[in-house]
């Protein structure tokens, strides 16, 4: 589907071409010759504009179809399944994915990591260092231990209170193992999410990576290298459907980015 901004660019190019044509024609032709050239140019532009408008109407219909077809594709696909959704970013970034998981009849335990496991509490670094008997407040060492602790807890239970109490993570809902783990990189994900965190999450056997835009370059490769299912266009209807189908037992590399093989699982 062609985005509206490309239509605007196309129209601008058409009118620019008309202006240049009239300018050049006026220096080479005079009288009736110039008028005929201008009339032909106007007709071509009118035809181009009509074509672009029809394309936009077709694309709007396709977008509407994709949105209306999504519930028919994913409805009840995950009935009775438990999913832990780990969001690299704030909880609001997971709104559409949570809605899709619920439509698929999955129970959802949301874990948000707003700042790459960096504690939000004023004395959070000190609390974590003391909990692990570290002699100094070493941010790198603390983040690595926090990543290991989080990844170890997700397959079987809730996020440890140590991470919740310091604001390193936010949890909503009730975990219900055994679970599938979806790691979602939202639009407000921190650009420097710790590599240890992504690597640990990718190591979970039931993990699926879901991203979009610039986030996919940092999140997708570690999961793909371990043979995990990946979706790199989860902000689009096709990607949202692919994520549910991957969780329903159709793993693969889905989307439009490098390495993706299909938009949806082959029939």
> Of 38, 72, 53, which Cα lies nearest the Cα of 7?
53
Q: What is the DSSP secondary-structure string of the chain?
A: ---HHHHHHHHHHHHHHHHHHHHHHHHH--THHHHHHHHHHHHHHHHHHHHHHHHHHHHHHHHHHHHHHHHHHHTTTTTT-EEEEEEES-GGGGHHHHHHHHHTT-EEEEEE-TTTT---STTHHHHHHHHTT-SS--HHHHHHHHHHHHHHHTTTSPPPHHHHHTTS-EEES---SSEEEEEEE-TT--TT--HHHHHHHHTSTTEEEE--GGGHHHHHHHHHHTT-EEES-TTSHHHHHHHHHHHTT---EESSSTT--BSS---
Query: Which is more confident, 77 or 115?
Result: 77
Q: What pLDDT, on a 0 to 100 scale, did the predictor assign at position 39? A: 79
- What is the pLDDT at residue 50? 80
Spatial CA neighbour of 218 closest among 202, 206, 207, 229 = 202
Average pLDDT over residues 186-201: 77
Q: Determine the pLDDT at residue 114.
A: 87
* pLDDT reported for residue 212: 80
Residue 229: both structure tokens together: 């299912």
Write the pLDDT tens digit of every residue in 71-110: 999 999 999 999 999 999 888 888 999 999 999 999 999 9
Q: What is the tens place of the pLDDT at every residue in 136-184?
A: 999 999 999 999 999 999 988 899 999 999 999 999 999 988 789 999 9
Convert the pLDDT of each residue in 122-133 to its tens digit. Answer: 899 999 999 999
Contact of 265 with 242, CB cutoff 8 Å = yes
Range among 17-26, 60-69, 245-254 rated most confident: 245-254
- pLDDT tens for residues 238-265? 999 999 999 999 999 999 988 999 999 9
Do the strands 207-210 and 107-112 form a parallel or antiparallel pair, or are they unpaired? unpaired
pLDDT 10s digits, 25-58: 555 555 566 678 777 877 888 888 888 888 887 7
Asked if 184 contacts 232 with a C-beta cutoff of 8 angstroms, the reply is no
Q: Which residue has the higher pLDDT, 33 or 222?
A: 222
- What pLDDT is recorded for position 173? 93
* Pairing mode of beta strands 82-88, 107-112: parallel
> Are residues 185 and 216 in contact, defined by beta-carbon separation less than 8 angstroms?
yes
CA 135 to centroid of chain Cα atoms: 39
Q: What pLDDT sits at residue 24?
A: 57
Nearest to 40 by CA among 55, 27, 20, 22: 22
Quick one: pLDDT at residue 15? 57
């Amino acid at each position: 589907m062609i985005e509206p901004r490309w239509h605007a660019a196309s129209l601008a190019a058409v009118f620019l071409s008309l202006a240049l044509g009239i300018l050049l024609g006026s220096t080479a032709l005079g009288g009736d010759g110039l008028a005929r050239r201008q009339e032909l140019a106007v007709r071509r532009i009118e035809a181009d504009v009509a074509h672009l408008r029809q394309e936009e109407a077709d694309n709007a219909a396709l977008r509407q179809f994709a949105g209306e077809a999504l519930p028919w594709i994913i409805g009840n696909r995950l009935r009775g399944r438990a999913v832990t959704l780990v969001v690299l970013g704030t909880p609001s970034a997971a709104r559409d994915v949570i809605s899709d998981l619920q439509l698929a009849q999955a129970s959802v335990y949301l874990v948000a990591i707003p700042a790459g496991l960096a504690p939000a509490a004023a004395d959070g670094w000190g609390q974590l260092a003391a909990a692990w008997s570290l002699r100094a407040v070493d941010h790198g060492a603390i983040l690595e231990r926090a990543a290991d602790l989080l990844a170890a807890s997700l397959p079987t239970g809730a996020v440890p209170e140590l991470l919740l109490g310091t604001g390193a993570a936010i949890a909503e809902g009730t975990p219900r193992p055994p679970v599938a783990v979806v790691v979602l990189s939202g639009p407000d994900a921190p650009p420097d999410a710790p590599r240890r965190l992504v690597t640990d999450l990718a190591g979970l056997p039931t993990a699926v990576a879901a991203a979009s835009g610039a986030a996919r370059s940092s999140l997708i490769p570690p999961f793909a290298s371990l043979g995990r299912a990946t979706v790199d266009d989860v902000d689009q209807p096709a990607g949202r459907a692919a994520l549910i189908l991957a969780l329903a037992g159709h793993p693969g590399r889905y989307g439009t980015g490098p390495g993706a093989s299909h938009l949806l699982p082959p029939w």
